[in-house]
Amino acid sequence: MNAIPPFDADLLRRYDGPGPRYTSYPTAPQFSSAFGESDFREAAKLSNGDPIPRRLSLYVHVPFCFSPCFYCGCNRVITRDHSRADVYLTRLVREVAMVAPLFDRDRDVVQLHLGGGTPNFLNASQLGEMMESLSRHFHFSSSPKRDFSIELDPRCVGSSDIEALAFLGFNRASLGVQDFDPVVQAAVNRIQSVEETLAVIDACRKHGFRSVNVDLIYGLPAQTAAGFGRTLDTVIAARPDRLAVYSYAHLPQLFRPQKQIDASQLPDPEAKLGLLQLAIEKLSLAGYRYIGMDHFALPDDELSLAQEHDGLHRNFMGYTTHADCDLIGLGVSAISHIGDSYSQNPRDLPAWEAAIDNGRLPVWRGMMLWADDVLRADLIQQLMCRSEIDIAALEARHGIHFATYFEEDLQRLQSLAADGLVTIEATRIRATARGRLLLRIIAACFDRYLHQPRSEPARFSKMI
């Protein structure tokens, strides 16, 4: 099922365009400042009261980076002042101490992810302090299947750092690469050698990391098929367990660093499609599987196996094998998903700092999900992880008659079916092989917020 889909330039050209990537449904723009600290506390309390409370997944955001990559759309602070990490850590530890007691102590943490920014801006001793605080306030699972992962910038991490991370319990790493072509690296202000990158991959393996992911980006300035092809060959030869190949979206009005990119150097849409085609062909030949939404994995990687056995899940951190966890986000801009609620910490550092300094949970915005949201989130989750919608399962879980409930959505889907992206059967809606590269377009047909203004769903009551 998860072979890499065939490349269909015509279809991709037609459906190319911005749109949600559905790491959550509803997506973050729907969050509201009406959701506050007391709502977060209530959601945590309710989640403890579930007959079988979910296990926990922690996300910690470290916002600092040493230098700005011009393509970047992340929430980050550029600085070379290491003392800022200490100041940040002090508040992070306070946030952990405020948030953790809201969750029953016997709820195991089976997943931890450090993202950024550059998490390895924190040195080994600072990371040790952070882990000590987390493990003191939460209960870390001792299962060998727990996933403790970290995003690494290979430009500023050495073998001894990787050894220290392994000692602290980290067993997965994700490395930013983007493109090894020196011309591209100069154009995006990210100079990173092949040698230092491969050394980090080797060190992760030597110190027992269960998997290494590499991020690449296509559509960057000055990128060529020849140069990106060499990057792909180099990366594939290193055999990372997972690869993410993202499309660069040039939105300088939204992401200020991108103003420093010379737009005249960007590949035109045809050339950009060619880069994606190259990546798909090379990864396919090298035996990688397509997980969904830009993600690829080796056949024996846990994501591939989970996809085969219906155990794949998608959340703010991407694809994971840990379904049914409550996600607690810590640090500036971090997002939580507790029960049927989403919430987000302030995106700007001073606002997050002020909340912590005043002894408040730093909840900036969020939302409680309506029954309609929960149903559609379930549907989109199925689509993103299994490339199909099991109609009977949704009807049974949510007490609806699918064809009646989704009448308008199914009408929207007709043109996609006519274009060969999906097949619609009585019991299942399936993305075709061609449609699997366009899952977000299929999902968007079921996104109520794209098609109706924000209001209580008219069909909120369940229909049998």
Q: Measure the CA–CA gap between 20 and 146, rounded to whole angstroms.
A: 29
Contact with ligand SF4 (CB under 6 A): which of 20, 117, 221, 329? 117
Instruction: For ligand SF4, give the closer residue by CB, 122 or 429.
Output: 122
Q: Based on the shown chain and the rule CB under 6 A, indicate whether residue 118 belongs to the binding site for ligand SF4.
A: yes
How many residues at the interface with ligand SF4, by CB under 6 A?
Answer: 11
203 contacts 213 by C-beta, under 8 angstroms:
no
Q: How far is the CB of 264 from ligand SF4 (least distance, A)?
A: 22
**E-state strands within 356-453:** 365-368, 388-390, 422-424, 428-431
Q: Mark residues 245-284: x for contact with ligand SF4 by CB under 6 A, - for none.
A: ----------------------------------------
Helix 83-99 to helix 124-137 angle, to the nearest 10 degrees?
A: 10
Residue 342 CB, shortest distance to ligand SF4, in Å, is 23
Q: How far is the CB of 61 from ligand SF4 (least distance, A)?
A: 11
Q: If 0-12 CB within 10 Å is exposed, 13-18 middle and 19+ buried, where does residue 50 land? A: exposed
Q: Site map for ligand SF4, 176-215, x if CB under 6 A?
A: x---------------------------------------
* Plot region of 310 (φ>0 → left; ψ -120 to 50 → alpha; else → beta): left
Mark 143-162 with x for binding to ligand SF4 (rule: CB under 6 A) and - for no binding.
----------x---------
Q: Alpha-carbon distance 405 to 457, whole Å? A: 11
**438 phi and psi, to 5 degrees?**
-125, 35
For ligand SF4, the closer of residues 116 and 318 by Cβ is: 116
Stretch that binds ligand SF4, among 2-10, 64-72, 266-274, 431-439 (CB under 6 A): 64-72
Q: Which stretch binds ligand SF4 (CB under 6 A): 33-41, 114-122, 124-132, 424-432?
A: 114-122
In the complex, what is the shortest distance from the CB of residue 303 to ligand SF4, in angstroms, rounded to a whole number? 22
Q: Where are the alpha helices (H) located in 208-261, listed in sequence order?
A: 225-238
Shortest CA distance to 154 belongs to which of 176, 125, 130, 184?
176
46: CB partners within 8 A, 6+ apart = 339
Per DSSP, what are the bridge partners of residue 32? 366
- Which of 12, 28, 46, 74 is close enough to bind ligand SF4 by CB under 6 A? 74
- Residue 113 as a binder of ligand SF4 (CB under 6 A): the answer is no
Closer residue to ligand SF4 in complex, CB, 118/432? 118
Regarding 240 and contact with ligand SF4 (CB under 6 A), the answer is no
Closer to ligand SF4 by CB, 25 or 59: give it. Answer: 59
Nearest to ligand SF4 of 176, 435 (CB atom): 176
Query: Cα separation of 209 and 202, whole Å?
Result: 10
Q: CA 57, CA 370: separation in Å to the nearest integer?
A: 23
How many helices (H) and strands (E) are present in the chain, helices listed first?
17, 20
* Partner residues linked to 344 by β-bridges: 335, 365
Separation of alpha carbons 141 and 93, rounded Å: 20
Q: Which among 4-12, 72-80, 436-444, 453-461 is the span making contact with ligand SF4, rule CB under 6 A?
A: 72-80
Give CA–CA dist 138/95, Å, rounded.
13
Which window, 25-33, 113-121, 191-199, 311-319, contacts ligand SF4 (CB under 6 A)?
Answer: 113-121
**Pair type for strands 313-315 and 289-292:** unpaired
Minimum distance between the CB of residue 178 and ligand SF4, rounded to whole angstroms?
8
* Contact status: 229 vs ligand SF4 (CB under 6 A): no
| Residue from 55, 76, 289, 376 binding ligand SF4 (CB under 6 A) | 76
Interaction site with ligand SF4 (CB under 6 A): 65, 68-69, 72, 74, 76, 116-118, 153, 176
